A and B are shown apart, each in its own frame.
Chain A
Amino acid sequence: MAEKITLEIARYSPEQDEQPHYECFEVPVHKEWVVLDALNHVKDNVDGTLTYRWSCRMGICGSCGMMVNGEPKLTCATFLSHYANQGARKIRVEPLRYFPVVRDLVTELSDFLNKLKKVKPWLIHEDEPPLSQGEFLQTPAQVDRYKQYSMCINCTLCYAACPVVGLDPVFVGPAALALAQRYNLDSRDQGAAERTALLAHPEGVWGCTFVGECTRVCPKHVDPAGAIQQYKLAAVMSWLKSFVMPRGQDAR
């Protein structure tokens, strides 16, 4: 394994630059170091202007997603040695694809946040019994139905991987659709019909052309592509049912 490796980092400052450009920094390759450690090394010791987000350094806060050699990655979970061991002399680090860039490796997230809110990601329940009546019962099997889709950390890697997001900025996108399905599949929720009405059109689930890249890059194995397929099926069933029961029933 080489002792040093070069980070080729996309730099962009809207106050100075018309276009992003690349800048190279040589960093040591320690066995334990992830790409994020190398970025911190540069910021602390070489260039304090290098700009990126990070927080937990354990793959759960979702802040530090970037393109690493063209792949969307959590940089806190991407080891330098992985590249060095393959003989690479250079690692390219860029902001996540398809998002507007604020500066260097920081992307604009407000559109993503709006899309999350749009799917009504909260439990919809018509009657609210007092807390003294205890919990809504839910068996382990019922938890398992939605659990996988509740694991999303909002890192937005799936948006950077999704060609539909690239072509159609209005598309709600994988993480938000998986989150909608997380609530639809929850036995305590009664909002599936409401969400289906919101999402059964081209901006919603029908935008997805099932490329499956979202599932491939997801660091938490959420499988948004699977959620979207389920959603499409539910939407079709709901549409079919609407001929039998015109009021439109629960899509499950």
Chain B
Amino acid sequence: MDVSSHDILLVGGGGAGLRAAIAAAEVNPKLSIAVVSKVYPMRSHTVSAEGGAAGVAKPDDSLAEHAYDTISGGDWLSDQDAVEAFVKEAPLELLQLERWGCPWNREPDGHIAVRAFGGMQKKRTWFAADKTGFHMLHTLFQTSLKFDPITRYDEWFVTKLLVNDGRVQGVVAIELMSGKIQAIMAKAVILCTGGCGRVFPFTTNANIKNGDGMSLAYRAGAPLKDMEFVQYHPTGLPFTGILITEAARAEGGYMLNKDGYRYLQDYNLGRPEPKPVLRSMELGPRDRLSQAFVKEFQKGRTIETPHGHVVHLDLRHLGEKLIEARLPFVRELCLKYQNIDPVKELVPVRPVIHYMMGGVSTDIEGATPLAGLFAAGEVACVSINGANRLGSNSLPECLVFGARAGRAAAEFASGQSPANGAALAQALDEERRLESRYLNKTGGRERIATIRNEMQATVEKSAGIYREEPSLAEGASKLEELQQRYDDINLDDRSRTFNTELESALELGYMLDVAQSIVQCALHRSESRGAHQRTDFPARDDEHYLAHSIVYRNTDGSSRVEYSPVKITLWPPGERVYGQQGQEHSQAKPAQ
């Protein structure tokens, strides 16, 4: 077996991974840094982020207001020390991206322009038209090319973390091109693999979003946190699930039901005004908007289509000029995939799985409880997003906590000795497992797609926008059945050359772990908070559940859910209000 060694190893080369790699290289140019990614880094899912990146930038705004919006948006489940660090460092990170060439939209005088976004009381979202993630990712990738300490393993798929002496010492990965299985040793490993939207059937997430890092950590003994909190974005195109950015509403778009009525006014989100009002109506938080859709559906006020019920997003009054200047990608996507021109026509939209608030449990430096293992970006749960992430907080989260994890890993790695023989023995075991369970296995009867489809249907049915105990319990037992049937899968493809079927099989294994953790956490949390709505427990219960779910994997493959307290610094738990009332609340300053 080939073995290579580095000081720091990144799994994933998207926004968080590349930022972490550059941060580590800047701390110590002598470090050897490996970026191991199953796709070329510029294919990473950061590329699909559209609307923007939040960071206080203008004199009328303050860090305290960004923190309050984030914490109230997260229904008080965010760790407030992490939020404080986040809002403070976000503007600096966005500025650093500017220095590296990111083509941010500008004011006429040349300063950075900012736009409104859902749940934010001030305009603070930096944007590059409606391709912000694309520009950030390409800027980071192109900039990373000038750092010699960074070695890339493009199109290598990580199958296991090597843990010895209570410390992560590297990974086993398959080089897709050749099929070679290799041990890549490292003194510190940072997971930056993003989310897991493909656990659900209808998602904005790319095909590569399978919760790889979450499962790798979970199997290695590191706990996952707050996995029941899954975000539905209110505006996805039917059938494809393609995201229509929240920026479309921030620029003034209306949400209409089948009667052409701005229905959000019926859901405690404020009064309809012709122009967008911050933290109100269409600029409410995503969890509340997606929940309002379900209520409208129940009232029979949505529109039936061959691909599920929809409501309408109306951009017509914005005019072609504004749409072309600020939402060109929205128009391109609608024209291409829906055959609709938003300049002249209503856009059909429905809630779509978009983002994972939960993830690998980390501290404020990106460190997990497992020594040598770090995580940043969507794969991680620090937590700043609590029970519901605000739009435009995830891109700066990748930067702030990517950089923090990169620096922390650099420091950790400098004090460690190289991996030992026991780690290599584990790697050899893993090679044998991959060969016997997949490549050389005979007699399997299950198709990957069958199990994947059943898993997705199960998770949607049990852990959708509204949840209740019977369907969650049913989902949990169905997932157990699917885990067993997974052992009986058959691969058509036994080739060593670019075996994407093997990759899909391994990804399905990861997704089954993640699905189990989502359903178990949702089953155990007997309250409603943010994106976790239990019809059998409709109220928030701070007495019992102002706490993070911490889920561990038992040796028999089952899971164990525990709770840990939320860190409250300046913002005691309060009522979450939007609309006119909310504006009075938001102006309340923290008790400093």
Residues on A facing B (Cβ under 8 Å): 13-15, 32, 43-45, 47-49, 51-63, 77, 102-103, 106, 108-110, 113, 116-117, 120-123, 125, 128, 131, 134-140, 142-143, 146-147, 150-154, 179, 183, 186, 188-189
User: CA–CA, A53 to B337, complex, Å?
Assistant: 20
Q: Indicate if the CB atoms of B39 and A135 lie closer than 8 Å.
A: no
Shortest B244–chain A CB gap in Å is 11
Residues of B within 8 Å of A43, CB to CB, are 500-501
Residues of B within 8 Å of A136, CB to CB, are 98-99
User: CA–CA, A113 to B153, complex, Å?
Assistant: 13
Indicate if B545 sits at the interface (CB-CB under 8 A). Answer: no
List 4 tightest A-B contacts by C-beta distance, closest first: A137-B110, A48-B492, A44-B449, A123-B101
Residues of B within 8 Å of A146, CB to CB, are 103
Q: Indicate if the CB atoms of A15 and B206 lie closer than 8 Å.
A: no
Q: Indicate if the CB atoms of A57 and B206 lie closer than 8 Å.
A: yes
Q: Indicate if the CB atoms of B177 and A102 lie closer than 8 Å.
A: yes
Q: Indicate if the CB atoms of B206 and A62 lie closer than 8 Å.
A: no
Among B40, B43, B103, B493, point to the contact of A49 (Cβ < 8 A).
B493
Residues of B within 8 Å of A189, CB to CB, are 101
Residues of B within 8 Å of A44, CB to CB, are 447-449
User: CA–CA, A117 to B147, complex, Å?
Assistant: 11
What is the number of contacts between chain A and chain B, taking CB atoms within 8 Å? 159
Among B92, B106, B138, B495, point to the contact of A143 (Cβ < 8 A).
B106
Q: Indicate if the CB atoms of A32 and B99 lie closer than 8 Å.
A: no
- Beyond A62-B42, A150-B135, is A131–B96 a contact (Cβ under 8 Å)? yes
Q: Indicate if the CB atoms of A55 and B42 lie closer than 8 Å.
A: no
Q: Indicate if the CB atoms of A57 and B240 lie closer than 8 Å.
A: yes
Could you list 11 examples of A-B contacts with CB < 8 Å? Answer: A48-B492, A56-B43, A60-B48, A60-B134, A62-B42, A77-B336, A109-B40, A113-B154, A135-B111, A140-B107, A140-B108
> CB-defined interface of B478-507 with A at 8 Å, one 1/0 digit per residue?
000000000000011101111111000000
- Beyond A121-B142, A122-B146, A131-B95, is A52–B500 a contact (Cβ under 8 Å)? yes
Q: Indicate if the CB atoms of B239 and A140 lie closer than 8 Å.
A: no
- Beyond A122-B143, A135-B98, A136-B99, is A106–B131 a contact (Cβ under 8 Å)? no
Residues of B within 8 Å of A153, CB to CB, are 42, 47, 134
A contact face: mostly helix, strand, loop, or mixed: loop
Indicate if B472 sits at the interface (CB-CB under 8 A). Answer: no
Q: Indicate if the CB atoms of B145 and A116 lie closer than 8 Å.
A: yes
- Beyond A154-B42, A183-B101, is A49–B145 a contact (Cβ under 8 Å)? no
Shortest A49–chain B CB gap in Å is 4
Interface centre among B105, B110, B447, B492 (most CB of A within 10 A): B110
Q: Indicate if the CB atoms of A139 and B109 lie closer than 8 Å.
A: yes
Residues of B within 8 Å of A13, CB to CB, are 495, 497
Q: Indicate if the CB atoms of A32 and B240 lie closer than 8 Å.
A: yes
User: CA–CA, A121 to B42, complex, Å?
Assistant: 13
Shortest B444–chain A CB gap in Å is 11
User: CA–CA, A38 to B177, complex, Å?
Assistant: 24
Shortest B276–chain A CB gap in Å is 22
Interface residues of B in 138-184 (CB under 8 A from A): 138, 142-143, 145-146, 154, 177
Residues of A within 8 Å of B496, CB to CB, are 15
- Beyond A49-B492, A49-B501, A109-B40, is A58–B448 a contact (Cβ under 8 Å)? no
- Beyond A54-B207, A55-B39, is A135–B498 a contact (Cβ under 8 Å)? no
Q: Can you add 5 more A-B contacts, CB < 8 Å, to A53-B500, A55-B45? A: A53-B39, A57-B242, A58-B48, A120-B146, A135-B104
Q: Indicate if the CB atoms of A117 and B145 lie closer than 8 Å.
A: yes
User: Interface size on B (CB < 8 Å)?
Assistant: 61
Q: Which residue of A lies closest to B179 (CB)?
A: A15
User: CA–CA, A57 to B43, complex, Å?
Assistant: 11
> CB-defined interface of B117-148 with A at 8 Å, one 1/0 digit per residue?
00000000000000100110010001101100
Q: Which residue of B lies closest to A133 (CB)?
A: B95
Indicate if B208 sits at the interface (CB-CB under 8 A). Answer: yes
Q: Which residue of B lies closest to A151 (CB)?
A: B131
Interface residues of B in 16-53 (CB under 8 A from A): 39-40, 42-45, 47-48
Q: Indicate if the CB atoms of B333 and A58 lie closer than 8 Å.
A: yes
Residues of B within 8 Å of A120, CB to CB, are 146
Q: Indicate if the CB atoms of A103 and B501 lie closer than 8 Å.
A: no
- Beyond A122-B100, A122-B145, A150-B135, is A106–B498 a contact (Cβ under 8 Å)? yes
User: CA–CA, A51 to B243, complex, Å?
Assistant: 27
Q: Indicate if the CB atoms of A48 and B448 lie closer than 8 Å.
A: yes
Shortest B233–chain A CB gap in Å is 14
Residues of B within 8 Å of A52, CB to CB, are 500
Indicate if B112 sits at the interface (CB-CB under 8 A). Answer: yes
- Beyond A48-B491, A122-B143, A137-B111, is A59–B336 a contact (Cβ under 8 Å)? yes
User: CA–CA, A121 to B101, complex, Å?
Assistant: 10
Shortest B473–chain A CB gap in Å is 29
Shortest A48–chain B CB gap in Å is 3
Q: Indicate if the CB atoms of A134 and B95 lie closer than 8 Å.
A: yes
Interface residues of B in 197-215 (CB under 8 A from A): 206-208
Residues of B within 8 Å of A150, CB to CB, are 103, 135, 138
User: CA–CA, A49 to B448, complex, Å?
Assistant: 12
Residues of A within 8 Å of B208, CB to CB, are 55
Residues of B within 8 Å of A183, CB to CB, are 101
Q: Indicate if the CB atoms of B449 and A55 lie closer than 8 Å.
A: no
